[in-house]
Amino acid sequence: MTPLVLAQNVSKRFAPRLGLGERIAAKLGSPVETRTVHAVDNVSLAIAKGEVLGLVGESGCGKSTLGRVIAGIHPPSAGQVTIGGESVMREGRKSTTRIQTVFQDPFASLDPRIRIGEAIAEGPLAHGLMRKADARAEVARWLDAVGLPAEAAERFPHQFSGGQRQRVAIARALAMQPDILVCDEPVASLDVSIQAQIVNLFLKLRRELGLTMLFISHDLGIVRHISDRIAIMYLGRIVETGETEAVFAAPRHPYTRALLDSVPKLVTDSEELVSFKAIAGELPSPLSPPPGCHFHLRCPHAQAVCREIVPASDSQGGMHPVACHFPLIS
Amino acid sequence: MSGTMRNPLLEVTDLVTEFATRKGILRAVDKVSFAIEAGEIVGLVGESGSGKSVTGFSILGLIDPPGRIAGGSVRLGGRELVGLPPAQLRAIRGKAISMVFQDPSATLNPVLTIGTQMHLAIAAHEKTSEAAARARAAEVLARVGIPDARSRLDAHPHQFSGGMRQRVAIAIALLNRPSLIICDEPTTALDVSIQAQILAEMKALARDLGTAMIWISHDLATVSSLARRILVMYAGRIIEQGPVADVLRHPRHPYTAGLIASLPANAEPGRELRQIPGATPSLFDLPPGCAFAPRCAFSSAACAQAPALHHAGPRGWRCHHPRGMEEAR
């Protein structure tokens, strides 16, 4: 497979701004302890054309940061992201329109004073992807693609419900005619009955437009439903990747196993009382992640080597890749 | 209301809560009735705007103008709470009934240590020495799974992680051994692995201390793993209730059935999810009769009349066209 999008050894570090005292101390030449957050730590990912890759993890694991690096919003601190062989970034700026993003909060991504039609046409006009004379028809076409009437173009964001606003945000991303859509928790802030509508919209768009997607979510049920492959992230690193059903059926990383077990299932049998199992311990601070495998503090299978050596991603025996010294055998 | 409960701990009858707004009177809770037994966990489920949180606030008398409880009754152990003077309500809040909110940072005072806040919570209801209060606070913190509880009393809220802060809020709710805790989406803002820990602990706490719980949530799976009974709200009304497993297996109301069917777990991966068409109605602009009728595949002319509550054993529903009645026979 020739991947459409390739992230190679991507890292993203954030250094918190130093306080006044620390800055003065640094000027005076005394050593200042810099606390860097390794939001994304040496991650490599490939997304094939037409594929939906689900990126899963808990808050603070770096999944949104990785999504933003792939979408060309944040420059990586190391490594690079390419789409069809071209770099997504040039000189610290996004240099392609082939990748677009849909965010969690559609209200934050729409200017409240700009009509929806203008908001959708703005990007393609600026990039010469649409002629001014065609704008009205093009906007109507994309509104139709997301299930909104053409009249919606004349309205303002506050005149739409949350689910409709997310449709607008999707239409806006699609109008740029991207090859890949990065969706960052696109249904997380919607009501349950509306979530299904938006998930179905993504399935339809994928079918009709052959869209490639990176679908970032903490909701394992939705990711399982929509993704061909999934990648599980823990504290800045990808610990497991594989075909969705293979990972759900037989997770190889103890964290993936624990994460799957901790989601409550719908109990429809009154005899069955426990539908979930908790993971021991808390997520360590990304400011001072534990050495070796980041999960060793909470892992029931951890041994001495896990505290010292970062496990490499391994796909022995034709299994899907996992970064663990003692992968689970099922 | 099902008539089988002899001595309910809490009895809510025809509760109506309204808010006066510029656009008119908004009825957030519309004739809600239910009862809870001592030690029982009940899940109150609905989408945003369904009135589930306002129901919780109304029980505690936490409705400030322009809102008001416009009718109905809330009885705790037989005592009427609606219309009680503020001082008497304060004596009940945090003592007999306490509440845990979605965002623990909004509950905790950022400038006081946890120990001080817990001492204040005890002192609000009884005279106690500081040493005794600290000992009790440490005991309860340990009970909700906070390691090294005694020394953590001197920490401030920001020194705790999100999950730990929610545990502290739960500990404060437990301090005065309430007979009822109202939990308003307490795990929604938390990660799944932390949510699982807190669910497991809440379940054990309710069992060990005999505390009754109203668990308000939009998540059917969470409720099903915790509660024994479920109340489903839509547009201010309870539209279905009954034992959790029974309701989830054989939902009667098309809205409940639609919610369950729309879950990805109930569809083949990659296939379309069963969706409920339309959006939740605005409370200003409710259709007459059944509020769900415009989105409902089974609605008929009869639905222009508000459906009465139908009963069958522990089950109840408000629908002219209930689902799955054949299987039940």
User: Which of A61, A104, A191 has the highest number of chain B CBs within 10 A, making it the mutation to test binding with B?
Assistant: A191
pLDDT at A5 over 80: yes
Phi and psi angles of residue B245, each rounded to the nearest 5 degrees, phi first: -60, -40
**Residues from chain B contacting residue A200 (CB–CB below 8 Å):** 272-273, 275
pLDDT in tens, A294-328: 999 999 999 999 999 999 988 777 789 999 999 99
Q: How far is B68 from chain A (nearest CA, A)?
A: 27
Indicate the pTM of the whole model.
0.87
pLDDT in tens, B130-165: 999 999 999 999 888 888 889 999 999 988 888 889
Residue A32: the pLDDT is 67
Residue A154: the pLDDT is 95
Is A155 near chain B, with CB under 8 Å?
Answer: no
User: Which of B152, B161, B164, B192 has the highest number of chain A CBs within 10 A, making it the mutation to test binding with A?
Assistant: B192
Q: How many residues does chain A have?
A: 330
Is A9 near chain B, with CB under 8 Å?
Answer: no
Q: Domains for chain B: give ranges and CATH numbers.
A: 39-65+84-96+182-328 (3.40.50.300), 99-177 (no CATH)
Is B217 near chain A, with CB under 8 Å?
Answer: no
Rounded to the nearest angstrom, the gap between the alpha carbon of residue A94 and the centroid of all alpha carbons in its chain is 18
Average pLDDT of chain B, as a whole number: 91
Q: How far is A79 from chain B (nearest CA, A)?
A: 29
- Residue keyed to tokens 């529903």: B317
Is B325 near chain A, with CB under 8 Å?
Answer: no
Q: How would residue B329 be classed by pLDDT, with cut points 50, 70 and 90?
A: very low
pLDDT in tens, B165-179: 999 999 999 999 999
Tell me which chain B residue has its CA closest to the CA of residue A196: B275
How far, in Å, CA of B326 to CA of A208, rounded? 40
User: Which of B188, B202, B223, B225 has the highest number of chain A CBs within 10 A, making it the mutation to test binding with A?
Assistant: B225
Residue from A237, A181, A180, A227 nearest A61 by CA: A237
Measured N-to-C along each axis, helices B114-123 and B162-174 cross at an angle, to the nearest 10 degrees, of 20
Smallest Cβ–Cβ distance between A264 and the set B47, B163, B221 belongs to B221
Residue A91: the pLDDT is 83
**Number of A–B residue contacts, CB under 8 Å:** 135
Smallest Cβ–Cβ distance between A224 and the set B220, B258, B264 belongs to B264
Residue from A207, A206, A173, A170 nearest A186 by CA: A170
Residue A40: CB partners within 8 Å, gap ≥ 6?
A: A10, A11, A12, A62, A65, A66, A69, A76, A236
**Residues from chain B contacting residue A273 (CB–CB below 8 Å):** 225
pLDDT at B70 over 90: yes
